[in-house]
Structure 1
Amino acid sequence: MTLDLQKLIGRGRSVADDFDRTIISFESPYRLKDLSPVSGSDPETQEEGLGEKLFKLRFAQHDEVFNNASMLVQKRYAWRGFPKAQLKKYPNRITILSFHQEKIVGTVTVGYDSEEGMLVDEIYKPEIDALRAQGRKVGELSKLAIDENIGSKQLLASLIHIAYLYGVIHDCTDAIIEIVPRHKAFYERMLGFKQIGEERMNNRVNFPVLLMHLELDYMRQKIEEFGGQGKAAKDRSLYPYFFSARDQQGILARLLREEG
């Protein structure tokens, strides 16, 4: 973790889990709109007329929003025969949403280790316990879905980047995710995940899955090296489509800002 991130986190975290406003808005290809508004102008007014490619990232807080996000997840996974998805608010999970024209077009849920454990413990507890025994603090990604009609590398990268920052806020050292086997190459090539759990049947979705793992320090290094470069980067992973390291500082400060 960089010194700047450590300083920001030290200023407080009490509001982050209940932030109920737009975190950031950006165009694709991205240019942040609400971290440094023009002096004397209103950020909400600025967002009007920015075009159909404006995205907003928010957190799910209300039942109606969770229901809409559940519909997106179900739509994207129904063809595999997965059971109906139902996203809900839990003390150790947070759902991050991407909106386009007030429609949910992307979602991911971040879970944190606690006394209740995590979803992944149902079938991969030995592997997670091995990480815990090493003093690692694990964060879990689940319910990742992008609207097929509007999805892009940048939209996916923005969701995962905010998930990463929430991992930083919660002192996570590692990320894990259960994936269907056919997605293994994507997570390896585009994000650097490595398989640490053999293929097993996940009874929650009635489908075989693999357990993938990533040290967040690796993600930090890739963001610092390639974040914000987009197509101009020589790197062909997803990291050039993450926010830049400089923008990351402003986003994290916003996540940690106390209301009032």
Structure 2
Amino acid sequence: MTEGATTWRLPSWPQTAMDVRAALQPWRQRFSFDRARSLAGWRTSQALLGRRYTQRGLRIVPQATPEPDLATLQARDGRRLVGTLSVRVDGPNGLAADGVFPDEVAALRTQGWRLCEFTRLAVEGEQPSKAVLASLFHLAYLYAHRIKSADLVIMEVHPRHAPFYRRMLGAEVVASGRDNPTVQAPSVLMRVELAHIQEQVRRLGGRPELADTERSLFPLGYAPSEEPMLIERLRAEI
């Protein structure tokens, strides 16, 4: 998984919280976030993944049909797909991370964690947009924790991206020094408790005025008051 990037940036924040929220509102109206619900939506996400991974020198084989245990979230600018992130909850078929980090994932299961993984992240463009990423990760958290009752998320990431996930989500490295044959690149395994994400959302979510001082994704995510509506929408799309 690699952190995405996009060509849009939020404006420089005004000084007051009211002005900051007013500045964010047009961005919220411009972009939409939902779950892929059709074969066409799935294939569009796969095309974005293939293009972005190739641009970063990574190998990925697009899949022609949706995986039944994979929930794929999408960010759109009008009708144009600009970002995607998928969530897989642990089950009989296991997780993708079992292929590279089998002992570490098994140990987490033995400890009693209900696992999920965030995977297949790709966002258009070359300049990072924390706001697009914040919305995608917030929806992924809601799906995994509030709907599917997972309590620990794991992620396979390139070593050079590990500091990003540490800063932006509070993730920590579980294991490193492995080659991931799926993308033909080195990989580290990271983890973050979903209770930690829940607490950060309660403390910082929907407070973009803190984005310049709080170096994480959470201020640019949704406010706690918005979560019931988002959960209802995600449930309707399962």
TM-score range, shorter-chain basis?
0.7 to 0.9
- Once residues 162 and 75 of structure 2 are traced to their aligned partners in structure 1, the CA distance between those partners, rounded to angstroms, is 24
Correspondence for 1:148: 125
Q: Deviations 1:205-240 (Å, cap 9, x if unpaired)?
A: 111110010000000000000001113354221111
Correspondence for 2:226: 247
Superposition pairs for residues 1-260 of structure 1, below 5 Å? Answer: 30-31=24-25, 54-87=30-63, 88-148=65-125, 152-168=129-145, 169-233=147-211, 234-257=213-236
Correspondence for 2:15: none
- Once residues 53 and 245 of structure 1 are traced to their aligned partners in structure 2, the CA distance between those partners, rounded to angstroms, is 18
CA gap of 1:153–1:70, structure 2 versus 1, over 3 A, is same
Number of matched pairs: 215
Q: Deviations 1:57-112 (Å, cap 9, x if unpaired)?
A: 12223222222111211222113332244144122111001111201000001001
Contact 1:200 1:208 in 2 (8 A): yes
CA gap of 1:201–1:223, structure 2 versus 1, over 3 A, is same
CA gap of 1:29–1:196, structure 2 versus 1, over 3 A, is farther
- Once residues 228 and 187 of structure 2 are traced to their aligned partners in structure 1, the CA distance between those partners, rounded to angstroms, is 35
Contact 2:37 2:237 in 1 (8 A): no
- Once residues 253 and 53 of structure 1 are traced to their aligned partners in structure 2, the CA distance between those partners, rounded to angstroms, is 19
- Once residues 113 and 122 of structure 1 are traced to their aligned partners in structure 2, the CA distance between those partners, rounded to angstroms, is 13
Contact 2:73 2:136 in 1 (8 A): yes
Report the RMSD for the aligned CA atoms in angstroms: 2.4
The residue type equivalent to 2:215 in the other structure is R
The residue type equivalent to 1:118 in the other structure is L
TM-score (ref. length: structure 1)? 0.76
Comparing 97-106 with 151-160, which one deviates more in the overlay? 151-160
Displacement of 1:190: 1.2
- Once residues 258 and 210 of structure 1 are traced to their aligned partners in structure 2, the CA distance between those partners, rounded to angstroms, is 32
The residue type equivalent to 2:192 in the other structure is L
Unaligned ranges ≥5, structure 2: 1-20
- 1:120 match: secondary structure: helix
- Once residues 254 and 51 of structure 1 are traced to their aligned partners in structure 2, the CA distance between those partners, rounded to angstroms, is 20
Contact 1:28 1:53 in 2 (8 A): no
More relative contact order in 1 or in 2 (CA 8 Å, sep 6+)? 2
Structure 1 or 2, whichever has the larger Rg, is 1
Displacement of 1:28: 9.7
- Once residues 84 and 232 of structure 1 are traced to their aligned partners in structure 2, the CA distance between those partners, rounded to angstroms, is 36
Unaligned ranges ≥5, structure 1: 1-26, 32-49
- 2:138 match: secondary structure: helix
- Once residues 28 and 229 of structure 2 are traced to their aligned partners in structure 1, the CA distance between those partners, rounded to angstroms, is 24
Contact 1:105 1:151 in 2 (8 A): no
TM-score (ref. length: structure 2)? 0.83
- Once residues 116 and 55 of structure 2 are traced to their aligned partners in structure 1, the CA distance between those partners, rounded to angstroms, is 28
CA gap of 1:63–1:150, structure 2 versus 1, over 3 A, is farther
Contact 1:56 1:99 in 2 (8 A): yes
The residue type equivalent to 2:159 in the other structure is P
The residue type equivalent to 1:71 in the other structure is A
- Once residues 145 and 258 of structure 1 are traced to their aligned partners in structure 2, the CA distance between those partners, rounded to angstroms, is 21
Displacement of 1:253: 2.8
